[in-house]
Structure 1
Amino acid sequence: MSKQTYNRRELAAEVERRKQARINGDRESLPVADQAEVKRYLKHLLRRHPRAIGIALGLHVLAAVAGLAAPRLLGGLVQDVHDGTTVGHVDRIALVLAVFLLAQTVLTRYARLRSQVFGEQVLAELREDFVGNALALPIGVVESAGSGDLLTRTSRDVDQLGWSVRWAIPEWLIATVTAIVTLIGAVLVGWWVLIPCLLGVPPLVIALRWYLARAKDGYLWEGETYSVINASLTETVEGARTVEALGLQQSRIDQVDDDIAESFRAERYTLGLRTVFFPTVETAYLIPTVATLLFGGWLYLHGHASLADVTAATLYVQALIDPVDRVISIMDELQVGSASLARLLGVAKVPEDRVATGRQPIDEKIDAAEVRFSYTEGRDVLHGIDLSVGIGERIAMVGPSGAGKSTLGRLLAGIHPPRTGSVTVGEVGLTELPLAELRGHVALVTQEHHVFVGTLRDNLALAVDEEAGDDRLLAALDSVDAGDWTRALPHGLNTVVGSGGLDLSPAQAQQLALARLVLADPHTLVLDEATSLIDPRAARHLERSLAAVLEGRTVIAIAHRLFSAHDADRVAVVEDGRISEFGSHHELVQAGGSYADLWSSWHQ
């Protein structure tokens, strides 16, 4: 989108376009829950805590009722002064007012406390649900959506929702209860008070309908722009060396500028809504107060209402402005929170890429039959792959970059389901197995790795269900040639690593990932350039060490270093999304095809 200045009509058209895009699914970001789904989730959440809600609501009602005494007492005092009274009577009224004020203060304090405790409980459950849904996302979906979208939801949207749950919802509840109780108190003075109060309703309703019809989509637009900004920044930082090497600095700066400009347009749209909405409702607040004074004064002059009634009614209507104003003002915060909640709940809308059938593999044999796969509809990257991997066999996959090796490896590890065809273990589709069970059969290790914040022991223990002793952890490290440097750490397995701790080198982090794999003990391993960050000589030694540990397991290794292919039982040459050659190293060298050319050039 260009950097042109939009008028309000154009901005509204942009919001509608994006709304339709979400409805039609015409975007790559993660889905967003609709309003009905948000309401269902909130109702379900509230049904979990009836007692907490009842206590908080009861305290708010009592606090609001205590606040009703002041207008009545002051109205009566005005009438008494008009009729003639004593200083002692005024003092007694002042004392009673102080008692009610103290009671209201104490009740309000405990009501707010209970509301905020309840809010923290709800927020904790929301976070737990979101983390569970995020961890259950298919990896392919996360990759296609990009890290920026999920990062924005886990940071900005969670923060926005936290603000709404901790502050906006309790304050809105207090204001709503206070407004209802205050209105009841005003009507008890006389039915006539309803007339000036109703005069302020039409402009409020019109303004609210206009605002609410536009606000949520505007705030969703804001959230989307933050996702795009985060994605651009993340890509630039992670690919900083590539950006610098290719001289792409200015293009990346221009991209971020465009993203920020889009965010500015979204912010300007929602700000425009607020600049129309809030002045309108502020004006609407004045109507009931002025009308109560005028109408009440007319009734008093004609003997239909006492001075005490007019005074109390005016004070009640004036007191009604503050909670109504807070209810409406907090609606803005609730719209932001609702948009954030919709984005968080949207993570659960991602369809499963696997359906557990309950079938159990008869053995550990991996088979791929007529496998086709595409990242983008209509553009297959794998074209009718057939591959059978025997139990305990070591297969090496080689070929030029972009040929589809890693994609095939991910399908063989059950990361993606095939578009057509089947990938099975023991005659059961990999996507028919629950993830926890699947990883006992097949596991994938790539050149990408992550060191979690915590001790070295904690990082290794992630791979095992039961508590593992130090001997087992150290044995796993020894098997990947990491025993020497881990034993040299200042606190051994208790050394804190990751962000804020000991900074592991890429090679050490990769060895840590491989040690986790050894501890996880899957039967079949798919190694996608798993030793690429280690220098060739050390990688050669590491793979030989791993070979001893992985004896009896099935290994599918994707590598550019052809010594892995030399040691494999069979080699699959992947070219243009197809297996062009398949056989042992010696058979393929003698055949004089693509593999023979690769082997020859690698030795030159």
Structure 2
Amino acid sequence: MKAPQAAEQGPATMLPVASGATVRAYARVLVRRHRWGLAGVVGLHTAATVAGLVGPAVLGALVESLSAGTAEERIRGAVAWYLGSLAVAAVFSGLSALRGSVLGEAVLADLREDFLTRSVALPPGVLERAGTGDLVSRGTTDVDRLARSVRDAVPELAVAVVSVVLVLGALVVTSPLLAAAAMLGLPTLLVGSRWYFRRAPQAYRAESAGYAAVNTVLAETVDAGRTVEALRLGPERIRLTDRKIHAWVDWERYTLWLRTVWFPTVDGTYAIAVISTLVVGGLFAMQGWLDAGRLTAGVLYAQALVHPVGMILRWYEELQTGQASLARLVGVREVADPDTDAALRPDGRRVEAREVRFGYREGADVLHGITLDVAPGSRVALVGPSGAGKSTLGRLLAGIYAPGRGRVTLGGVPLARMPAERIRTEVALVNQEHHVFVGTLRDNLRLARADADDTELREALAAVDAADWAEALPEGLDTEVGSGGAALTPSQAQQLALARLVLADPHTLVLDEATSLLDPRAARHLERSLSRVLEGRTVVAIAHRLHTAHDADVIAVVEEGRISEYGPHPALVAAGGPYAALWRSWRDER
């Protein structure tokens, strides 16, 4: 069976997948963090395995003594030793399993925290290009797949390796000839495993990527449900979803086929080991080269190898899935600009764009040589027809996108070289999109500033004219909102987003249709309230409602990715150019 062709990824740029070297380096970091826990698990199981080795040795000695004639007391002693060794092995095995589970949970918690920390810090522009489906599948499906590997595979794999080494050592001590016989199936195992493991890692990675692609398409269809319905895109979205599902299922079938070939090879190796030990050992015993006691112990040790070797292969196979998921989780850590310098601090608050070009695809620029100077404390309005590039320019000025060419600077420092955490303390973007998180109204507000007290929260709500409806909620700030809680209207949700902005207190704001969900009268009232809050701050406002431009210090008219006009409202109206035409059209519509 041939491997399926690589699934199409669609227009979104998927988040990176870590290389094998990066995954191994991260695994070593985890091992160092939890070295004492791992050492405890290995130590406990070593004691359990050593205790378990006593049983075959006692039974072998008993068989040898029975063949020569033995007393009843000798038999009772052997039984006592055997049962005692089983009891000790059971106690240490139980403790080892318990500590292994605790270790697995601790490692999994580390992985989740690392992934969440890095995901929250991802630049918004990266998520916009990659889509949220890929990130969601990593945080859910890949974490779930990895949970089994971390909880069970890693501890049990370490335990199995210890068991194989000790049991094999006991077999060599008992009879080197039997040890050699037990290894007769090793070539078959090595050939079959090499065939499997050359194909499995890439197949499991492709399977995970295929599932992520399905998740992305479904998420996009649900998010754009109204658009899909309005434009009658349902059949096309169904066909696209079917293609993604079929590609994913093809990889599922391929990985299943790999297992159906490899598992019988492993089972055959077990049979060869036990049968060869019995046959070769029997021949040796007939020749007098091996006594019955050592033959019994040797066969029991060979049989004891089956379980740990099976565990190693089983969990190593499981680790292929885990490794693919870990590579996707660790890959999020690789989303970083190599030129980013955490030590850079802006000298002042002036925002400047110089000869900026930007495109979402190579060779297809959206902005063409934009130059703009935003003085500290000024209010700049970006106006122009839909699709002219206003929102794209706003995202560049907010540091969400990096220019393809040219420079966007804050206080003389290129935004592209500043870490996202630093940019967010200086510049904030508020657009039409808003979200009400599941939790209390207080929790939603404190996302902007965790240490804000109730007085500050109420002042922020009042600043955006939201105090009345917030106080009218059943439990005030303690009211549960979001999915399953009190439903907020679109305008209330947008006021909540703006209240977060007041609490975040950045010195520069980029408002991209920030009041678009409010009716014109409410929007005008809110903007007047906000004007008191925004006093002294730099504001770049993107709006189709030209009263925003009327109130601005300066207006930049964006057309086809270029600034065609620049100046204050009276001067642009008097000039009779594109802005004057927009102004007259907007006045007539009112």
- Output the TM-score relative to the length of structure 1: 0.93
2:398 to 413, 423, 435: 413
* Aligned 8 A contact 1:446 1:529 in 2: yes
Unmatched 5+ residue regions in structure 2?
A: none
Q: One-letter code of the match for 2:421?
A: A
| Greater displacement, 126-135 / 272-281 | 126-135
Deviations 1:551-575 (A, max 9, x none): 1211111111222112222221111
SS at match of 1:503: coil
1:336 to 308, 313, 321: 321
Q: Which amino acid aligns with 1:469?
A: D
- The change in CA–CA distance for 1:551 and 1:126 in structure 2 (over 3 A counts) is same
Q: Aligned with 2:2: secondary structure?
A: helix
CA contact (8 A) 1:353 1:417 kept: no
SS at match of 1:200: helix
Task: Render the CA deviation track for 1:573-600: whole Å, top value 9, x for unaligned.
Answer: 1111011111222222222222222222
Q: Which digits, 9 at most, give the CA deviation of each residue in 1:514-555, with x for residues without a partner?
A: 001111111111001111112222111111110111112111
Residue 553 (str. 1) matches residue 537 (str. 2)? yes
Equivalent position amino acid for 1:54 in 2: A
1:472-505 superposed Cα distances (whole Å, 9 cap, x missing partner): 1111101111101100111111122223332322
Deviation at 1:92, TM superposition (A): 3.0
| Other-structure match for 1:573 | 557
* Comparing 584-593 and 216-225, the one that deviates more: 584-593
Native 8 Å contact 1:354 1:417 kept in 2: no
Equivalent position amino acid for 1:492 in 2? G
Supply the distance in 1 between the matched residues of 2:339 and 2:587 (Cα, whole angstroms). 43
Query: Is 1:191–2:176 an aligned residue pair?
Result: yes
Task: Show the counterpart of 2:35.
Answer: 50
CA 1:302–1:353 in structure 2 vs 1: closer, same or farther (change >3 Å)?
A: closer
Q: Which one is further off, 351-360 or 174-183?
A: 351-360
2:458 alignment counterpart? 474
The residue type equivalent to 1:505 in the other structure is T
Aligned residue pair count: 587
Instruction: Return the alpha-carbon distance in structure 2 between the equivalents of residues 402 and 525 of structure 1.
Output: 22
The reply on whether 1:163 has 2:116 as its aligned counterpart is: no
CA distance in 1, matches of 2:374, 2:20: 49
1:4: which partner in 2? none
Aligned partners of 2:391 and 2:255: how far apart in 1? 44
The one of 112, 118, 136 aligned to 2:121: 136
Task: Give the C-alpha shift of residue 603 in structure 1.
Answer: 2.6
Structure 1 position 213 matched with structure 2 position 198: yes
Equivalent-residue separation in structure 2 for 1:319 and 1:384 (angstroms):
73
1:283 corresponds, among 255, 259, 268, to 268
* Residues 180-579 of structure 1 aligned to structure 2 (within 5 Å): 180-352=165-337, 355-356=340-341, 358-464=343-449, 467-579=451-563
Amino acid at match of 2:311: R
With over 3 angstroms needed to count, the CA separation of the structure-2 counterparts of 1:439 and 1:28, relative to structure 1, is closer
Q: Give, in whole Å, the separation in 1 of the partners of 2:552 and 2:156.
A: 67
Whether the aligned pair in 1 keeps the contact of 2:337 and 2:417 (CA below 8 Å) is no
Q: CA separation of 1:32/1:285 partners in 2, compared to 1, >3 Å: closer, same or farther? A: same
Contact 2:13 2:129 in 1 (8 A): yes
For residue 2 of structure 2, the aligned residue among 3, 9, 13 is 9
Identity %: 52
For the structure 1 residues 372 and 441, does the alpha-carbon distance in structure 2 shift closer, same or farther, using more than 3 Å as the test? same
Query: Structure 1 residues 479 and 464 mapped into 2: Cα distance closer, same or farther (>3 Å)?
Result: same
Q: CA RMSD in A?
A: 1.9
Give distance in 1, aligned partners of 2:345 and 2:23: 38
Distance 2:429 2:564 in 1: 24
Task: Indicate conservation of the 8 Å contact 1:353/1:431, yes or no.
Answer: no
Whole-angstrom CA distance in 1 between matches of 2:153 and 2:35: 20
Taking a change above 3 Å as real, the CA distance of residues 51 and 440 of structure 1, as seen in their structure-2 partners, is: closer
SS in 1 for 2:535: coil
For each residue in 1:373-416, what CA deviation from the matched residue of structure 2 results, as whole angstroms up to 9, or x when unmatched? 11111111110111112222111111111110001001111111
CA displacement at 1:172 relative to structure 2: 1.7
Given candidates 63, 71, 82, the residue that maps to 1:97 is 82
Report the CA distance shift for 1:601/1:499 in structure 2 as closer, same or farther (over 3 A). same
CA distance in 1 between partners of 2:295 and 2:461 (Å): 84
Q: Residue 353 of structure 1 contacts residue 416 of structure 1 at CA under 8 Å; is this kept in 2?
A: no
Q: Could you tell me whether the CA contact under 8 Å between 1:445 and 1:514 is conserved in 2?
A: yes
Cα distance in structure 2, aligned partners of 1:227 and 1:506: 30
CA distance in 2, matches of 1:322, 1:96: 23
Q: Check conservation: 2:464, 2:530, Cα contact below 8 A.
A: yes
The residue type paired with residue 425 of structure 1 is: L
2:95 counterpart residue number = 110
Alpha-carbon distance, 1:96 to partner: 1.9
Question: Counterparts of 1:315 and 1:380 in 2: how far apart (Å)?
Answer: 73
Counterpart Cα distance in 1 of 2:284 and 2:440: 78
With over 3 angstroms needed to count, the CA separation of the structure-2 counterparts of 1:10 and 1:425, relative to structure 1, is: closer
Secondary structure at 1:532 match in 2: coil
CA contact (8 A) 2:167 2:305 kept: yes
Deviations 1:141-173 (A, max 9, x none): 222111111111111111111110001112222
Please, which runs of 5 or more residues in structure 1 have no aligned partner? 1-7
How far apart in 2 are the matches of 1:249 and 1:526? Answer: 35
TM-score, normalisation: structure 2:
0.96
What residue identity is the alignment partner of 2:37?
Answer: A
1:80 Cα shift? 3.1
Hey, what's the Cα distance between the residues in 2 that align with 1:416 and 1:429?
A: 12
Match of 1:374, SS state, is: strand
**Match for 2:136: what amino acid?**
L
